[in-house]
Structure 1
């Protein structure tokens, strides 16, 4: 029995893109932890940095899980209509929107 697509190339590239995104968010969160509390003098920025690290870990796990789900669907029957949903993508979009709004507020108010 042959499968209609290569079992790992596209899902693996997508998972690597999620991994790069998680690493970028994690690095930005570490910079937030290092610079904002000292520059703005408020300990609440530590919570912002820790929340960013938590989201980065969640994205890493979600990307890996999605790759495994896609590989399972493609190996089972190749039905591309049953692919996993776009929940992690929506969550990432909301996070980026909230982060952008917070950064804009910090720049304008400080």
Structure 2
């Protein structure tokens, strides 16, 4: 009995949809990160203007800018016909930015 060849890894799959969904997910994550950064920044700057509060606000802005850089780079990469796989270092950078921003936001709110 002979096996019928099935579709190859790229056949039968619309490769254009997955990068689009991934690009939209990066944009949603960037929006959520921006909102969290703005709320934490607002809370940090609402205080007395002590150096610790201003320093915390500066760290929040720097982490947010780092995440924007990572996200923008990945969104640009996804425009290619065959987008490259996300490098582990870039993924780790994005995760660290999100975790750091969440930690700073939680610290500022409490």
- Per the normalisation by structure 2, the TM-score is 0.65
Q: Which has the larger radius of gyration?
A: 2
Tell me: higher relative CO, structure 1 or 2? Use CA pairs within 8 A at least 6 residues apart: 2
Q: Any conservation in 2 of the 1:18–1:59 contact (CA below 8 Å)?
A: no
CA 1:99–1:29 in structure 2 vs 1: closer, same or farther (change >3 Å)? closer
Residue 23 (structure 1) aligned with residue 31 (structure 2): yes
* Count of aligned positions: 97
- Cα distance in 1, alignment partners of residues 70 and 105 from structure 2: 21
Structure 2 unaligned segments of length 5 or more: list them: 1-9
Greater share of residues in helix: 1
Structure 1 unaligned segments of length 5 or more: list them: 74-81
In the TM superposition, structure 1's runs of 4+ consecutive aligned residues that sit over 2 Å from their partners are 39-42, 82-88, 96-107
- Cα distance in 2, alignment partners of residues 51 and 103 from structure 1: 13
